[in-house]
Amino acid sequence: MYKKPLPRPTLESKEFWEGCKRHELLIQRCRDCGSYRHYPRLLCPKCNSENTEWVKVSGKGQVYTWAIAVQPFHPGFAEDVPYAMVIVELEEGVRLMTNIADSRPEDLYIGMPVEVVFDDVAEEVTLPKFKPAGK
Give residues in contact with another protein (CB under 8 A).
Answer: 4-10, 13, 37-39, 64-71, 73-74, 77, 80, 82-83, 85, 87, 94-99, 105, 110, 121, 127, 129
The residue among 72, 71, 102, 105 whose CA lies nearest residue 86 is 105
Task: Output 64 or 118, the one with its CB closest to another protein.
Answer: 64
- CB of 32 vs another protein, minimal distance in Å: 19
- CB of 63 vs another protein, minimal distance in Å: 10
Task: Output 9 or 132, the one with its CB closest to another protein.
Answer: 9
The sign of the torsion formed by the CA atoms of 18, 8, 57, 53 equals: positive
- CB of 94 vs another protein, minimal distance in Å: 6
Whether 87 and 66 have beta carbons less than 8 Å apart is answered as yes
Task: Output 73 or 123, the one with its CB closest to another protein.
Answer: 73
The residue among 100, 116, 102 whose CA lies nearest residue 67 is 100
- CB of 50 vs another protein, minimal distance in Å: 19
Residue 131 burial class via C-beta count within 10 angstroms: exposed 0-12, middle 13-18, buried 19 and up: middle
Task: Output 24 or 95, the one with its CB closest to another protein.
Answer: 95
> What does 12-30 look like in DSSP terms, one character per residue?
TTHHHHHHHHTT--EEEEE
